[in-house]
Amino acid sequence: MKRFPTTLLFFLILLSTPHQIVTAENAIIPFVMQLTRSSDHYGHRRAFMQIDKVLDVIGEEKVKIDVVAYEDGIHALLANNKKTSQLLTKLANRGVTFKACQISMRGWDLNEEDFPLEVEFVPAGAPEMIRLQMQGYKYWRP
């Protein structure tokens, strides 16, 4: 009995599969950025500026970025944060998703009204980070 060469078998399976092949050129790669530290030395602003540069250089159509803020990083998402609020709005308009941890909000005595409309709320920041990585998001540390 003759055996099919492995390459030919793979090719036949590939032809019979109705799914589109995703290549590096047309794939949208998801990233999650964790903000937990304080804003010392304009750290939150610099992180937002890094995101802006990545979108400029790589392209909004090639990356999806979620920012999850908890602990002291929650302050980066506040509507009255003069260092980040305009950048947050700009990045949200470019497709970046911002998520605030409700546990951290309670810890800092913050309410949903303290955040701009672009911010989403998640029950807890750390589990959200893990959940997104389990869905295939790559971790990006600012």
pTM of the model: 0.80
Tell me the per-residue pLDDT of 7-46, one tens digit each, with 9 for 90 and over: 444 444 444 444 444 455 678 999 999 999 887 766 899 9
Per residue in 100-118, pLDDT (tens digit) is 999 999 999 999 999 999 9
pLDDT digit string (tens) for 64-100? 999 999 999 999 999 999 999 999 999 999 999 999 9
Could you tell me if residue 109 is inside a domain?
yes
What is the DSSP annotation of 7-41? Answer: HHHHHHHHHH--SPPP-TTTPPEEEEEEE-S--GG
- DSSP states along 43-101: HHHHHHHHHHHHHHHT-TTTEEEEEEE-GGGGGGG-TT-TTTHHHHHHHHHTT-EEEEE
The parent domain of residue 59 ranges over: 27-140
CATH number at residue 86: 3.40.1260.10
**Is 46 contained in some domain?**
yes
Is 54 a member of any domain?
A: yes
Is the residue at 7 inside a domain? Answer: no
Is residue 9 a part of any domain in this protein?
no
Tally of structural domains, the chain: 1
